[in-house]
Structure formats: C-alpha cells, structure tokens
Structure 1
Amino acid sequence: MSSILTNNGAMVALQTLKSINANLNKTQDEISTGKSVSTAKDNAAVWAISKVMEAEVSGFKAISSGLSLGASAVATARNGAEAITDLLTQMRDKIVTAQGVATDRDKLQNDVIALRDQITTVIKGAQFKGLNLLDGSAGASIDVLSSLDRSANGVTASSITVNSQNLSIGQYTANAVFGASTGGVSAAGDTAGFFLDAGASNTIEIDAGAIFAAGDSISVTIGGKTASYTFSATDVAATTPSDLGAVGLKNAIEKLGIAGLEIDFDSGTPGTLTLTNNGTDDLSVTAQYRNAGAGALGQLANINVSTAAGATTALNDIEAMLQASISAAADFGSAGKRLETQSNFLSKLTDSLTSGIGAMVDADMEATSARLQALQTQQQLGIQSLSIANQAPQAILSLFRG
C-alpha cells in the first residue's frame, strides 16, 4: 500500500543515515583526540580506570622531581664529605710530620689552620637550595618522598630516610669556662688537665660569667673514666650557683664510681667542684668544653701541633675525625644510590602505566582510518537512499493523471 502520509522507506533510510552520521562523528572525534575513550560517556568503566591510572602517573612524575632534588642535595653533601676527607688526609700528613724532632712545628701549625679554615668553607658551602646535610642544621635526618602505595585502605606515602651528618667544627666562645686553681680548661674548646695526687685536692670551676647555650656540654675524664654534663635551658638561665651545671656534673662524676674520689660542691664559690683523691693511686684529670654547634669535627678547633705533646694528641684526634668524614661520605653514597635506584624504578613504572592507559583509551589509527573511509561511503549511499525514498510519494501523482 502506498501512502502520502507515511513513508516507511524514508523513515528507515533516515534512521540508517542518523546511525551512520553518529558513527562518523565518533570516528572523527577519535581521529581528532587520538582516543577511543575520551569522556566518561564513551565507556564509563574504562574512563574511570584510566583516570585513576593517569593520577598515579602524575603523582609519580611529581615524586620523580622530588627524588631528583633529594638526590642532588645528597650528592652535594657527598661531594662535600669527600672533599673534607681529602683535606683531613692532608692535615694528617702535616700532623705525622710534626711527630719528628727536627721539624718546624709553627709552620706546620699554620698549614693545619689553613686546612681547617678550608674545611669550614666546604662545610658551609655544601648546601643545595638551602639544605645542608653536613653542618647539623638539617636535624638528624630528612625524608625524601619515594612512592605512593595504593591499597584497599587508601593511598599512603613512602619515603627514603637520609641521615644527615654533623661534621661542623662548632663556634667556640672566648669566655672562660673553667677557672681551675691548677690546670683545668681556661678557654672554651680547650682541653687541659692535671694529675690529682693521692691525698691531694684540686678544683674545677664552671665560670658563672661564661656565656653558655642550651646543649653545650662539659666532659671530665678522671682515671680513664669520662663523665659528661649537658647544659639545659634552666642552667643557662640560672641565677644561683647550684643551678650553673656544677651539681649536674658532680652527680655525673659520682656515677663513675671511682674508688677514693670525693667530690664536693662549694656553695661559697659559684660553680666550683672540689676533687679530693683519698685513694692510693694518682688520678689523671682532663676536662673539655664542647659547644652545642660542634659536630664530629669539633676537635679540629683544638688541633695544635706547635708542641710535641700537642702533635701526639692531634694524631689520635685526626684519626677519629678522618674516620667520621669517610663514614659520612660512604653513608651519603649509599643514600644517593638508593635515591637513584628508586628514580629509575619510578621512570620505568611510569612508562608501564602510560602504556597501559594507552592500550585502554588510545584509538587504533589504522583501523579508525579504514572505518572513516567506509563510513563516508555509507553516508553517501545513505543520502542517496533517503533521496530515493523521499521521491516515492511523487509516483502517486501519476495515478491522478487523465
């Protein structure tokens, strides 16, 4: 039956053409964007998964940047520690030379001072973007963000801990710290001592007028045993003799348990400890003040090879400091390797995730190109089919011609 009101052929041709045009538009979008899934409307599940993975990739790229900065800071510290090791080795050679009997110790001491000043320069200069891992200003350690770990409970951050190394020499004050009646330490940073004969007494005085800071410490070695006391904020603000740190040092010495040693706190003289040797053996007593800012190389401030005794002491001290700098360089080297390994891993992981995202959402351009050609041909045929269907009602006019 023919009808001028309902053209079924035209409706079929129109729906077919609409479908062709929709597919053609989608194909053209794929060619334009390069993606088969560019919005949630295209494929909600795949789009959602791809967005989570894209967020992971973006996060890993940010972490990689942080790792690069952390690795640079560690490399700077490692180079500084290696330079310090070389300088300490040169200083050690000077100290070894000073052990001889026919050497110009004064000139050697000048060389030692020059090397010490150079070490100070290296320590201060070994900083990256304000972060210095050699002078103690960074604290005990820093955490470098290394990964984001996703689990059923959410996302957590992982870090690589890099231990800082305090190789600073310290800034010693010029105030008297010990004003001992015989021997004792006369200036901050100095080390001096005396023999406490059996049955004899001597005093160690903590100068009430000295400028201390919280964290400064005093070490007293008696008969081979060492007692230390670190000044607290209360000590620093003290106004009474008993609070100047002398009582704290007295308690520390008593804990050594040295037979025959008597320690008295003299309230009549602020900060004075009286040591009495009631034993039968003489006791060697040495004392040292250590600034709170002094690190593993703090003893460099006391190196003095101008005398035979000083050269002998310096040889022992330099060995310990050389080992500290070598250990610091090795630790930074190990930490730098960890950061480098993690950075390489994240780079490969990012590439894998990017490939996975591409496999899900990227358009197959070869197949898309072939599909475009086919759809364009279908569109032309659809237009012609619709045109033919639209002309069908015109044939009904021939029924009314006489």
Structure 2
Amino acid sequence: MSSLLTNSSAMVALTTLRGINDSMATTQNRISTGMRVADASDNAAYWSIATTMKSDNSALSAVKDSLGLGAATVDVAFTAMDQTVEIVSQIKDKLTAATNGTVDREKIQADIEQLQKQLETIASSATFSGENWLQQDMGADALNKEIAGSFTRDAAGNTQIENIVVDTRTTVLVDTRSTGTNTGILTSDLMGGGVDPTSATDITITTGDIDSLSVKLTPAVGPAPAPVDGITRKAIEAAIEKTFEGLPEGTGAGTQGGFDAAAAKTVAGAVNTRLTALTGGSESFLDLDISTLGNNAVDNGILAAYIDVVDGQLSAITDAATELGSAKSRVDMQKEFASNLSDAIDRGIGQLVDADMNAESTRLQALQTQQQLGIQALSIANSGSQNILSLFR
C-alpha cells in the first residue's frame, strides 16, 4: 500500500543510515584516539583493569627512578672501595719493603702517610646525593640501606613496595662516632682484645720449636679472656721468633743453649713497653707509623705485626668490595627487570584498550560504502511520494 503520510521504506532506510553513521563515528573516534576502550562506557571491565594497571605502571616508573638513584649510590661506593683495595695493597707493599734493614723507614713512612691521607679522602668523597656508605657514624646512622626495588599488588588489591636492603656494617671504612667502640675498617683499634699490652705478665709456650711458636697472653689480674689477634699478640710472637729463631726450647734463656718462658716473657715486656710508647695503647690503620722503628728484634717484630694486620684489613676491604659488587649487580638486575616489567604491562594494557588500526581502517572503508548505499536507498524511498503525485496528472 502506498501512503502519502507514512513512508515505511524511507523510515527503514533512515534507521539503517543512522546506524551506519553511528558506527562510522565510533570507528573514526577509535582511529583518531588509537583506543578501542577510551572510557568506561566503551567497556567497563576492561577500562577498570587498564586504569588500575596504568596507575601501577606509573608507580613502577617511580620505582625505576629510585633504582637508578640506588644504582648510582652503590656504584660510587663500589668504585671508592675498589680504589681503596689498590691503595691498601700499596701500603702493604711498602711495609714489606721496609723489612729490609738497609732502607730508610722514615722515607717509606712519608709515602705511607700520603696513601693514608688518600684513603681518608676516598672515604669522605664517596658521596652521591648526600649518601655516603663508606663514612658513617656506626653508633647513630641507619646501616641497613634500603632501595625501592619493586611495586606489587596482590589478588586482594593490596599494594606493597619491596625494598633491596644493603647491610653496610661490614663496608664502612671510617666510623665517625666519637664515643664507643670504633668499628670502621680503617679506624678500628688494631691492637687486639683480651689483653692489656701494659699488664700482660704470663706467657705460655705450647710448642717446643720457635718455628711453630704459640704464645698465650693473660692479664695480671682477673679471669683470663681469650686473646684476640692484633698488633700486640702478633708483635710479641714475631719479636720472640726473631730473637730466638732456630734455638730449641731449654734452659739458659737467651744463650745458645735455648730459650724458655722467662726469656720469652722478657721479650714480650720489651714489646709491650715499645708499643705503649709508639701507640699509647691504641692504633688504627690510618695511624700506622714506622718512621721511628729501628732495626732490632723488637721493632722488627712490631713491623711484622703491622704487615700481618694490614693484610687482614686488606682481606676485610676485599670482602667489603665483594659485598658492594654483589649489591651493585642485584640493583642492576632489578633495574633491568623493572624496565622489562613496565614494558610488559604496557603491552598488556594495549591488548585490552588499544584499537587495531588495520581492522578499523578496513571497517571505515566498508562503512563509507554502506553510508553511500544508505543515502541511495533513502533517496529511492523518498522518490515513492513523487510516484504517487504522477497518478493525479
């Protein structure tokens, strides 16, 4: 039935064209923004997930910045510690050269003093952004250094920052505290514990051959603590060995017939007196001084003790450099992982909300064709009224 008032064909064609135009608007919006899900109205679930992950990725970006700062701080400390190993090795070499009785120990000490000052400079200069891990107040400063390592969210939606912890208790070169026991590698007292060098009165010979001598020191009063290796004990052992080297244990102390505990005790007393005069009872790595040491058994024993404790501190510094190297490697790995994780999250978000430009461009061409056909269909539908008019001619 043809009606002048109601054009059903035009209505259908108009509805179809309106739908095509809406689809085209959606496609054009996706092409212009590059997003398939631009807001919650497009896909509420995907939009919610993507928005949360974008926020987490932003936090992860801040973590990457923190890791970069931490990596730089560790790198500065590691570089300084690596240089410290080299300088301490040089000091050990110069002390070893001083064992030659013909060299001028005062001139060698002048070189050692400059190296000691360089160690102080290295420790004080190993600073990045106000952080110095090699020079700290070990009685007041927080020695566990925390570097933000990752940002995580559990299934319940709870977030957490996980930190990389670097324990610097064994890496501090200079302990700046003014009270309490100094434990810095370069500033700790190297004299040794468990014995007072001014009051040691008892020496026990536990082997019968000076080449495998073992000396035990105990204080004059009170319970005898376990002796701790240090300059005092090492110097006494070395001085006794140098005084009686090659002689069997026996009587007639100090003679070619042998040596005994009394003779060893005399040497120990001489070492104690000499050390007290040299050090005042305490000696750190930065205070070692061989300028006044002579070429005799007591002073040579003290020099041998210096070399021994310097070697021990070199071992401690090497261990500290190893720890910092491991921390540096860990931070670098986490930094790389955080970067890769951020990229993976970006890709995941893209899978949810990004538009497929190839598909959208193809869809746009198809919609444009449909739009043209829809316009043609509407034009044909509207021409029906003109056909009715021709009936009345």
Aligned mate of 1:147, from 139, 146, 150: 150
Aligned residue number for residue 160 of structure 1: 164
- Tell me the equivalent position of 1:33: 33
Q: Which residue of 2 aligns with 1:302?
A: 287
**Secondary structure class of the residue paired with 1:38:** coil
Tell which deviates more after alignment, 70-79 or 132-141: 132-141
254, 257, 278: which one aligns with 2:223: 257
Change (3 A) 1:325 1:190: closer
In the alignment, which residue of structure 1 is the partner of 2:12?
A: 12
Q: Give the gaps of 5 or more residues in structure 1.
A: 174-187, 199-222, 227-252, 260-279, 292-297
CA distance in 1, matches of 2:155, 2:376: 57
TM-score between the two structures when normalised by the length of structure 1: 0.69
Cα distance per residue 1:187-244 (max 9 Å; x no partner): x98979424669xxxxxxxxxxxxxxxxxxxxxxxx8469xxxxxxxxxxxxxxxxxx
Aligned partners of 2:190 and 2:285 also within 8 Å: no
1:48–1:196 Cα change, 3 Å: closer
Letter in 2 for 1:140: L
Are the counterparts in 2 of residues 299 and 317 from structure 1 also a CA contact under 8 Å?
Answer: no
Report the Cα distance in structure 2 between the residues aligned to 1:196 and 1:156, rounded to whole angstroms: 57
CA contact (8 A) 2:9 2:381 kept: yes
1:110 equivalent in structure 2: 110
- Asked if the contact 1:89–1:322 (Cα under 8 Å) also holds between the matched residues in 2, the reply is yes
Task: Judge which range, 315-324 or 67-76, deviates more.
Answer: 315-324
Query: Matched residues in 1 for 2:313 and 2:190: separation?
Result: 17
Query: Is the 1:189–1:301 Cα contact (8 Å) retained in structure 2?
Result: no
Letter paired with 2:288: I
| Cα distance change of structure 1 residues 335 and 50 upon mapping to structure 2, 3 Å threshold | same
- Whole-angstrom CA distance in 2 between matches of 1:302 and 1:78: 24
What pairs up with 1:168-183 in 2 under 5 angstroms? 168=174, 170=176
User: Which of 316, 331, 337 is equivalent to 1:339?
Assistant: 331
RMSD value, Cα = 3.2
Q: CA deviation at 1:86?
A: 0.3
Report the secondary structure of 2:159's partner residue. Answer: strand
Partner of 2:39, secondary structure, is coil
Q: Is the 8 A contact 1:98 1:108 kept in 2?
A: yes
Matched, 1:85 2:89: no
Q: Secondary structure at the match of 1:383?
A: helix
1:354 and 1:140 mapped to 2: Cα distance? 37
User: Per the alignment, do residues 111 and 63 of structure 1 end up closer, same or farther by CA in structure 2, a change over 3 Å counting?
Assistant: same
- Is 1:350 aligned with 2:350? no
Give the counterpart letter for 2:348 in structure 1: G
Give the Cα separation in 2 of the matches to 1:336 and 1:290: 39
Q: Distance in 2 between matches of 1:353 and 1:190?
A: 54
Q: Is the 8 A contact 1:189 1:290 kept in 2?
A: no
Contact 1:84 1:119 in 2 (8 A): yes
What is aligned with 1:389?
381
1:338 counterpart SS class: helix
Q: Distance in 1 between matches of 2:13 and 2:79?
A: 77
**Deviations, residues 349-381 of structure 1 (Å, cap 9, x unaligned):** 222222222222222222111111110111111
Tell me how far apart the structure 1 counterparts of residues 391 and 280 of structure 2 sit (CA, whole Å).
124
Greater strand fraction, Structure 1 or Structure 2? 1
Aligned residues: 310
1:268-347 matches, cutoff 5 A: 299-306=284-291, 307-308=293-294, 309=299, 310-347=302-339
The structure whose residues are more often helix, as a share, is: 2
2:99 is paired with a residue whose SS is coil
1:54 Cα deviation after fit: 2.1
Distance 2:344 2:201 in 1: 76
Structure 2: distance between partners of 1:189 and 1:160: 32
Query: Structure 2: which 5+ residue stretches go unaligned?
Result: 180-187, 203-215, 226-261
Q: Note if contact 1:189-1:289 (Cα within 8 Å) is conserved in structure 2.
A: no
8 Å CA contact 1:94–1:108 kept in 2: the answer is: yes
What is the TM-score when the length of structure 2 is the normalising length?
0.70
Q: Structure 1 CA distance, aligned partners of 2:218 and 2:161? A: 46
Q: What fraction of aligned residue pairs are identical, expressed as a percent?
A: 36
The 1-side partners of 2:385 and 2:392 are apart by 13
How far did 1:145 drift? 1.0
Whether the 8 Å contact between 1:304 and 1:311 is mirrored in structure 2 is no
